Amino acid sequence: MTDPATPAAVTIVDHPLVQHKLTIMRKRETSTAGFRRLLREISQFLAYEATRGLPLTLTRIETPLCEMDAPMIEGKKLVLVSILRAGNGLLDGILELVPGARVGFVGLYRDPETLKPVQYYYKVPDELEDRMVIVVDPMLATGNSSVAAVDLLKASGARNIRFMCLLAAPEGIKRMQEAHPDVPIVTAAVDDHLNDHGYIVPGLGDAGDRMFGTK
Ligand code: URA
């Protein structure tokens, strides 16, 4: 049990490959196809950190030389929950690494006036209490959607939740840590601030628009 006074860790994946790819994603001129490919690539580096601590079970196998008990992860013990729609840009890359993972979706959009999340879809696997849940959304901005998604998952029984994003704003991290101090955050960078429209600065713009070409 995490001490509420000490929020779970924020891990910044500062590996040069991640930082280089992120810089290309930030550039205004990067194409939709390039943005999507880079997001998929970075998602795998982020997932490497976010899945740290996934339980391993020893399985009897035979190498060319002898038998041994070797560690394996149980993919179905992992649930990836995408906050629609931009979260989907992180999903496929992680599923390549853990093909057996279960997948849930939370549909939330930001009311442009209040910046508060409005729920329109919620579908997650059952028995969440027995699984590690990684919530994915590229942008941790105000934190309102992320907090709302984690609220819903906890109400469904999830107890072991992690949050994975590409970029975070200090405001979003603070909000998440206040609401859910037990949820570790994995991100590629923490940017400077949010602007009046709730966009991360310097950021990369609207992640959904950039990955799907809707602008
Ligand atoms: N969502 C985005 O897509 N970009 C931001 O900068 C903030 C929220």
Q: What is the pLDDT of residues 79-115, one digit of tens each?
A: 999 999 999 999 999 999 999 999 999 998 878 787 7
CA 127 to chain CA centroid, Å, is 20
What tokens does 209 get? Answer: 């628009």
Integer Cα distance of 39 and 33 in angstroms: 10
Cβ of 22 less than 6 Å from ligand 1: no
Q: 122-162: per-residue pLDDT in tens?
A: 999 999 999 999 999 999 999 999 999 999 999 999 999 99
Which atom of ligand 1 is found nearest the CA of 206? 3
Q: Which of 114, 126, 130, 151 is catalytic?
A: 114
Whole-prediction pTM? 0.94
Integer Cα distance of 130 and 133 in angstroms: 9
Nearest CA to ligand 1 atom 4: 206
Beta-bridge partners for 186: 11, 164
Enclosing domain of residue 47: 10-53+77-204
Integer Cα distance of 101 and 128 in angstroms: 12
Q: Is residue 27 part of a domain?
A: yes
Q: Is residue 83 part of a domain?
A: yes
How many independent structural domains does the chain possess? 1
State the CATH number of the domain containing residue 155: 3.40.50.2020
Q: Is residue 3 part of a domain?
A: no
Is 72 a residue whose pLDDT tops 70? yes
Cis peptide upstream of residue 202 (ω within 30 degrees of 0): yes
The mean predicted confidence, pLDDT, of the chain is 94
Q: What angle do CA 27, 28, 34 make, to 5 degrees?
A: 70
